[in-house]
Structure 1
């Protein structure tokens, strides 16, 4: 029935920035999100030319590769670096003779309708929470500075929307960690510090 709250959730493999073998875990949320996004496009969307987890010895090795070669830094990964890293990762893997600039589209925005349209089209969206550089220092948000993979949404009866994400894991104050898992986050409560990065990759046969 029209006007009823709706929801959609994609099946994506969670990554964990804190797992053994990740070289710089405290600043690896961006690379972990990018690795999970690449794995989804490789496995779920059938873009087999893109290296997924099976191309590396472990998920940690996949994260480390992205950290080293595609924008990881000790102070985190900017949105610009994330978008640039996506393009570089995919262009390096593009079939010979294919124009990678025509093969992929990267979009940066903060719009819940566009986010939902990406999810409805079976495309996960990278989400960056950043209260520091958005100058929202005094606000209370679910994360101060963090990348996660948006895999779904739920419309609420009051007209608001809840984001469904994979959180890249949580480190315990002592040793150990909770592996990457699904989490639900209020969009309106965090909208002011969110940036969304959407990716679309054409079938290699479709690109000039």
Structure 2
């Protein structure tokens, strides 16, 4: 079984993003991509979202993303932490999910996940040979646009958390 949404990714190193934000702009970039997918145009750019969401040089904490995005979007949106199962249902309903890899604050120092600390838009999943793979935009790199990647859930499950961002 495969679900993959047609989501336009953006690199967090895009020339329109302030150079002082780029290294830690994965959270605001992820939110921007998801809001664009929902045709929400109030957040003009990633630099504004970085400030509004409370981005820091070490990244964007999940609790801060949820709290500040709820303020920004208002009561017509549901922004909340969710489980893997809820994330897959969101994807099946046609809604991407914000997914965070966090090796450090989950105390998984010996783990070898795809990313140590990084927010990405989760845009799909694939079940192949009884294995779950997550499909995501990687938010790019220096001089590289965002790419769609497939990562094995079993290799990353200890460091993953999910936030759904859905209009009510």
Whether TM-score is above 0.5 comes out as: yes
For 1:155, the equivalent position in structure 2 comes to 127
For 1:9, the equivalent position in structure 2 comes to 4
1:163-202 to 2 correspondence within 5 Å? 163-171=134-142, 177-202=143-168
Spell out structure 1 runs of 4+ moving beyond 2 A. none
Provide the rounded CA distance (Å) in 1 between the counterparts of 2:120 and 2:53. Answer: 17
1:1-208 to 2 correspondence within 5 Å? 6-23=1-18, 24-42=21-39, 50-51=40-41, 56=44, 62-91=45-74, 100=75, 103-111=76-84, 113-157=85-129, 159-171=130-142, 177-202=143-168
Query: Gapped runs of 5+ residues in structure 2?
Result: none
TM-score of the superposed pair, with normalisation by structure 2: 0.93
Q: How many residues align?
A: 166
TM-score of the superposed pair, with normalisation by structure 1: 0.76
The structure with the larger Rg is 1
Superposed CA RMSD: 1.4
Deviation at 1:14, TM superposition (A): 0.6
Contact 1:18–1:169 under 8 Å retained in 2: yes
Structure with more strand by fraction:
2
Deviation at 1:181, TM superposition (A): 1.4
